[in-house]
């Protein structure tokens, strides 16, 4: 049996740093970090394969933290690795600090994912594990690596855990190893007061390999990780029964271990004694954050060993590249997300089709040419028309990642988070589809896509009340306004956090996909119709539709225009028909398509005023809430939209009842014509 003296010393160092960070910030979560220190220390020191001098090495093992409130544990561990200084730890949760309250993705510092909203972190790990298996299938076992993830009681309870567990087990993700920090404490109560489920049996039912251990015993942790690494058929769940606030004591020396109060506040606020607790961990000066000298020496040696092991794996890759130059070029292309092979202008679209159908045509082209693209659909592929992609490939199956399509079942939230994980892993382009109304289920993951600046492609169809007979539960009214709020929200790079594009016909859909595939900085949200939409009847329509790349462009301009009509999606064709009626009445108008307000707002003022002149009255038409276009029409304009839920009836009937026929819209516009 190994001598664990130095191992335990390093774990105590992590505990001490975590406690000190939270005390200095006067906020944070020390208890879980104190209990989880033993596992993370052994994982990083003895099992995790990485190169501390090359954090973005593509063949590294990945570690995904689910409970982001346990950031002090991760930052302390990464400080031992050499990615954070004591000064940076001391500035935990402060302005401009690289140690925010919850970890934000930073590959250069060894942080693989933004975490905080419980349940999403380990689900991203499932996505990363899928990406790894996808790449190994194409490039060989030399590229195999492990995906580790750490989950807490809260993450286990979040509903998304069901989708992640089911999908990982169904696919047989043998490269996925998850540690469950089972300390029976959550923020406001004990776990056994809110849940009586048998977690082990639940994961066994999902076909996981389940190991239960004392999560604070180094020897049991090693045994479990060794067994998990040897597993060749299933993902592994290690249930580590740990002690919340391990080592914490009060002023009279009594134990604070297991106290609920230690979960979400500084140790002193929970009744603990800082000096006695830190002294118990071996801290000599409680006012200074420090890596113990013997621990520093220990980790310095470990890091040299890891560099040497990584160098050997890199040599293996170099040899493989020399022996397989074509595959090596493909690998480089995969990780650069190169799409130069796609000639979007050569994609032939049918006239007068639904934009979901036009999207399907583009996806069929992408499936044959963008070899690292993975598309998923929440059991709707034949309705959201992602089957245009599926028809050119096959779906993933148990231990079979030769295809490029993910069928996760009915689990929109899980699917979106999995796509985030794929994007974080790198080497693949992730896309997923569902009905627009069900984007409600996806929004927490879309928000993290935006925050992490991940180029996931969201394909949302059935975009308006024209879903018809399915009724109000399936008719998105307020959804476009909601998602376009993220266009207005800047990410940390100062750019609109998402790109939202709602194309108005088949050719504009091709351009929308061109925009999506070229966007490598943020998520793209494509909003597509269920019903057929008349194609805009102009010559060389595709080249005209390229104007969508600026967010808005003129479809039909009248130099004598009294006003400008504007819309996105299917409403553009309605305005086109209304324009013909207005022209017959002697009313001159120009027509503008605005598929992406966010992009349009990023154009220079001259362009914006060219498209939407300030001196012209503006009339906006939307099948959603009027607020969707109110910012574009301004004070000198009007918007016709909906301010109520939909109803169950055929689409044409709803058009008439809601006032969306060309004749009704023309009559509405006439109210604003000065005569």
Give the per-residue pLDDT at 636.
Answer: 84
Residue 197 CB burial class (10 angstroms; 0-12, 13-18, ≥19): exposed
Secondary structure of residue 318 in the 3-state scheme: helix
User: Per-residue DSSP letters for 255-268?
Assistant: B-TT-GGGSSS-TT
Q: Report how far residue 124's alpha carbon sits from residue 535's, in angstroms, rounded to the nearest whole number.
A: 39
Q: Report how far residue 201's alpha carbon sits from residue 122's, in angstroms, rounded to the nearest whole number.
A: 19
Residue-wise pLDDT for 601-638, tens only, equals 999 999 999 999 999 999 999 999 999 999 999 988 99
Secondary structure of residue 375 in the 3-state scheme: strand
Q: Are 271 and 250 in contact (CB under 8 A)?
A: yes
Q: Report how far residue 419's alpha carbon sits from residue 130's, in angstroms, rounded to the nearest whole number.
A: 10
- Say whether pLDDT at 338 is over 90: no
Alpha carbon distances (Å) from 565 to 288, 428, 666: 65, 40, 11
Residue-wise pLDDT for 390-432, tens only, equals 999 999 999 999 999 999 999 999 999 999 999 999 999 999 9
Which residue, 276, 188, 287, 221, is CA-closest to 35? 221
Alpha carbon distances (Å) from 459 to 396, 512, 655: 19, 11, 24
User: Per-residue DSSP letters for 451-487?
Assistant: HHT--PEEEEE--SGGGGGG-GGG--SSHHHHHHHHH
Section 505-526 average pLDDT: 98
Report the 10 Å Cβ neighbour count for 431. 28
Comparing 3-7, 173-177, 396-400, the range with the smallest average pLDDT is: 3-7
- Say whether pLDDT at 659 is over 80: yes
What is the separation of C-alpha 383 from the centre of its chain, rounded to a whole number of angstroms? 23
Instruction: Give me 345's structure tokens.
Output: 């202008």
Residue-wise pLDDT for 363-398, tens only, equals 999 998 999 999 999 999 999 999 999 999 999 999
Q: Report how far residue 580's alpha carbon sits from residue 537's, in angstroms, rounded to the nearest whole number.
A: 12
Give the per-residue pLDDT at 185.
Answer: 87
Residue-wise pLDDT for 252-293, tens only, equals 999 999 999 999 999 999 999 999 999 999 999 999 999 999
Q: Kindly state the percentage of the chain with pLDDT values over 90.
A: 96
User: Per-residue DSSP letters for 198-235?
Assistant: -HHHHHHHTT-EEEEEETT-HHHHHHHHHHHHH-SSS-
Active-site residue identified among 112, 132, 365, 412: 412
Q: Are 4 and 218 in contact (CB under 8 A)?
A: yes
User: Which backbone phi and psi does 168 adopt, to 5 degrees?
Assistant: -60, -40
Instruction: Give me 234's structure tokens.
Output: 């299933």
Mean pLDDT of the chain: 96
Residue-wise pLDDT for 154-171, tens only, equals 999 999 999 999 999 999
Q: Report how far residue 257's alpha carbon sits from residue 262's, in angstroms, rounded to the nearest whole number.
A: 8
Secondary structure of residue 197 in the 3-state scheme: coil
- Say whether pLDDT at 3 is over 90: no
pTM for this prediction: 0.97
Q: Report how far residue 49's alpha carbon sits from residue 303's, in angstroms, rounded to the nearest whole number.
A: 10
Section 459-471 average pLDDT: 95
Which residue, 91, 73, 93, 92, is CA-closest to 81? 73
Q: Are 543 and 597 in contact (CB under 8 A)?
A: no
Strand order in the sheet with 209-214: 62-65, 147-152, 176-182, 236-241, 209-214
Which residue, 342, 332, 422, 335, is CA-closest to 376? 422
Q: Which residues contact 590 (CB under 8 A, 6 or more apart)?
A: 554, 556, 557, 558, 561, 563, 564, 565, 616
Kind and range of the H or E element at 526? Answer: strand 524-527
Q: Report how far residue 399's alpha carbon sits from residue 4's, in angstroms, rounded to the nearest whole number.
A: 38
Q: Are 166 and 409 in contact (CB under 8 A)?
A: yes
Secondary structure of residue 601 in the 3-state scheme: helix
Instruction: Give me 175's structure tokens.
Output: 């490269």
Residue-wise pLDDT for 208-259, tens only, equals 999 999 999 999 999 999 999 999 999 999 999 999 999 999 999 999 999 9
Residue 412 bears catalytic tag: yes
Residue with token string 């069901």: 162
What confidence tier does 2 reach under pLDDT thresholds 50, 70, 90? confident
User: Count of alpha carbons within 13 Å of 540, Cβ hemisphere only?
Assistant: 4
Residue-wise pLDDT for 539-583, tens only, equals 999 999 999 999 999 999 999 999 999 999 999 999 999 999 999
- Say whether pLDDT at 173 is over 80: yes
Q: Report how far residue 403's alpha carbon sits from residue 474's, in angstroms, rounded to the nearest whole number.
A: 31
**Beta 589-593 vs 553-556: how paired, if at all?**
antiparallel
Alpha carbon distances (Å) from 157 to 47, 123, 199, 432: 28, 13, 10, 25
Which residue, 651, 665, 658, 504, is CA-closest to 575? 665
What confidence tier does 675 reach under pLDDT thresholds 50, 70, 90? low
Q: Report how far residue 489's alpha carbon sits from residue 494's, in angstroms, rounded to the nearest whole number.
A: 9
Label residue 258 left, alpha or beta by phi (over 0 means left) and psi (-120 to 50 means alpha): left
Give the per-residue pLDDT at 499.
Answer: 98
Residue-wise pLDDT for 494-515, tens only, equals 999 999 999 999 999 999 999 9
Alpha carbon distances (Å) from 147 to 131, 177, 203, 535: 10, 6, 18, 47
């Amino acid at each position: 049996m190994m001598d664990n003296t130095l191992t335990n010393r390093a774990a105590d160092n992590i505990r001490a740093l975590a406690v000190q960070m939270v005390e200095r910030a006067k906020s944070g979560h020390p208890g879980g970090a104190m209990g989880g220190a033993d596992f993370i220390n052994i994982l990083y020191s003895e099992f995790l394969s990485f190169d501390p001098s090359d954090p973005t090495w593509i063949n590294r093992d990945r570690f995904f933290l689910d409970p982001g409130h346990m950031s002090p544990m991760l930052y302390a561990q990464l400080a031992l690795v050499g990615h954070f200084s004591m000064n940076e730890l001391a500035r935990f949760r402060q302005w401009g600090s690289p140690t925010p309250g919850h970890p934000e993705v930073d590959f250069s510092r060894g942080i693989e994912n933004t975490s905080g909203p419980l349940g999403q972190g380990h689900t991203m790990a499932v996505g990363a594990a899928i990406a790894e298996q996808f790449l190994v299938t194409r490039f060989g076992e030399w590229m195999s690596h492990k995906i580790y993830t750490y989950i807490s009681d809260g993450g286990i309870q979040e509903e998304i855990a069901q989708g992640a567990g089911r999908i990982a087990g169904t696919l047989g993700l043998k490269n996925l190893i998850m540690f469950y920090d089972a300390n029976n404490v959550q923020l406001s109560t004990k776990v056994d007061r809110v849940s009586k489920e048998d977690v082990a049996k639940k994961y066994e039912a999902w076909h996981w390999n389940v190991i239960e251990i004392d999560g604070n015993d180094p020897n049991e942790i090693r045994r479990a990780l060794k067994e998990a690494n040897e597993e060749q058929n299933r993902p592994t769940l290690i249930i580590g029964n740990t002690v919340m606030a391990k080592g914490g004591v009060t002023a009279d020396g009594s134990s604070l271990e297991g106290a609920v109060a230690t979960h979400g506040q500084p140790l002193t606020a929970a009744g603990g004694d800082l000096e006695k607790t830190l002294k118990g961990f071996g801290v000599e000066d409680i006012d200074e954050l420090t890596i113990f000298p013997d621990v520093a020496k220990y980790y310095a040696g470990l890091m040299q060993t890891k560099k040497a092991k990584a160098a050997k794996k890199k040599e293996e890759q170099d040899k493989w590249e020399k022996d397989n130059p074509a595959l090596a070029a493909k690998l480089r292309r995969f990780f650069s997300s190169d799409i130069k092979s796609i000639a979007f202008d050569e994609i032939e679209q049918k006239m007068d089709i639904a934009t979901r159908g036009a999207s399907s045509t583009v996806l069929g082209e992408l499936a044959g040419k963008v070899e690292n693209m993975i598309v998923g659909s929440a059991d709707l592929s034949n309705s959201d028309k992602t089957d245009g992609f599926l028809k050119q490939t096959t779906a993933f199956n148990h231990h079979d990642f030769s295809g490029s399509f993910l069928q996760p079942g009915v689990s929109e939230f899980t699917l979106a988070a999995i796509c985030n994980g794929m994007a974080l892993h790198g080497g693949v382009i992730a896309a997923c589809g569902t009905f627009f109304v069900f984007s409600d289920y996806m929004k927490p993951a879309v928000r993290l896509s935006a925050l992490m600046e991940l180029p996931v492609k969201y394909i949302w169809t059935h975009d308006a009340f024209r879903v018809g007979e399915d009724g109000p539960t399936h008719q998105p009214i307020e959804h476009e306004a909601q998602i376009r709020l993220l266009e207005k929200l800047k990410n940390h790079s100062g750019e609109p956090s998402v790109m939202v594009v709602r194309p108005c016909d088949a050719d504009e859909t091709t351009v929308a996909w061109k925009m999506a595939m070229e966007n490598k900085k943020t998520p793209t949200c494509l909003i597509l119709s269920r019903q057929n939409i008349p194609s805009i009847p102009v010559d060389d329509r595709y080249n005209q539709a390229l104007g969508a790349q600026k967010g808005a462009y003129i479809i039909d301009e009248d130099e004598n225009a009294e006003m400008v009509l504007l819309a996105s999606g299917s409403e553009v064709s309605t305005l086109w028909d209304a324009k013909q009626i207005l022209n017959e009445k002697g009313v001159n108008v120009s027509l503008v398509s605005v598929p992406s307000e966010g992009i349009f707002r990023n154009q220079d003022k001259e362009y914006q005023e060219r498209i939407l002149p300030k001196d012209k009255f503006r009339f906006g038409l939307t099948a959603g809430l009027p607020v969707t276009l109110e910012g574009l029409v301004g004070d000198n304009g009007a918007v016709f939209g909906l301010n109520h839920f939909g109803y169950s009836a055929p689409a044409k009937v709803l058009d008439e009842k809601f006032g969306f026929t060309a004749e009704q819209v023309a009559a509405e516009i006439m109210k604003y014509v000065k005569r």
